[in-house]
Structure 1
């Protein structure tokens, strides 16, 4: 009996040391998995709504308007930033991760992991939608309008992503940080960009959001538009951010870009 008690105590001690204590230590740098899970889950939710609008419209004609389909992702992003932004920064988008890294508000070593789980989250969402809704995931992807060229869609994605990343970096800067109100700024921009630009390019502004439905639907015919356009827009937004606010977003920008788990601040950025 005593041997059984000793074994149980040893197991309890191991469980507490190896599992409970690390779980409770949110600032431990080993908690990177929390950030990655947050990005995966957040991107999954975003694509459920963003791709789901087109797929539900195909399954149930005349039930979802274009206005509703393009506003919904903005509302979802707003909710995700509010409830998970403090964990990972709620990037949900590879070009946002790259932009924060270029601004020195996000460590470069974390970028590959973020991008991988963002692509995975988008793919899982597309798989879920296709299996439940019963139509091809390609109906939830982004393609240039039939009467427009890939080049026109590229420029639309470039300009819209330039605005999106400018809003994200601006509301995360040390000089202009506006806390959780930033969620409303980002969400509102996504909704307004969709209302204006969706007829031409679908207003992806996010390589992961388009990757999942393209992969599951098996159609990458215009995918380059939704990689190169947003990437170019993000790079220009970073340059504009330097002109407007200088180098980096300081402690506020780093906190917004990384979340609250073991936030690192570049010594060369301003406070």
Structure 2
């Protein structure tokens, strides 16, 4: 059974790998036996993650990549292929959360959400999928959010563009899954609830009132801890999920239970 989760010989590409859930997942891939290509805009932070991965004995590269820019993505994936020769796993993790409702946010902020959270997945997948199709194998995991299906209810944390863009990730995941299954490629999505990360530490985790309310209404009574998303990501990234397509698994301690 353990062999189903063994990623030895695999190459994983992780976007948004410079910190938070992306960096955690990249290290989990390495610990499961994969070599890892780390993609993000902040190369200096990627180098720190790269060093941690290399301590496990696995290979890693740090590639500068802005997922909203096609030429940047194209160059980064070319660098991965030149280094490793193949790509087996893609974790589309890069994302942002812009605060504001439709009556208050700017068009620029709305577009920023969709450019990163949706267009970013499109562009990276555009340049990775052909390599997976040629090999006849691939595991794509898109990071959506609990907020794809559950709205923020505290006025101070309204994020309409985040809700909409993460819902779009689910639609894109289903479409990709249906189209690429015949090529031996699985495409699934994970939906983190509240985890402390670079995105949330300066907002949600700064509000004692919000955390108290969250902990009270969450069946687990707490936010997610570092590493608690990795099991689901590894499941979708390994042969343990070889016949699983277009699915969305929420990892939130029970907040979305209805």
* Structure with max Cα Rg: 1
- Comparing both structures, which one devotes a greater share of its residues to strand? 2
**Length-normalised TM-score, structure 1:** 0.29
- Comparing both structures, which one devotes a greater share of its residues to helix? 1
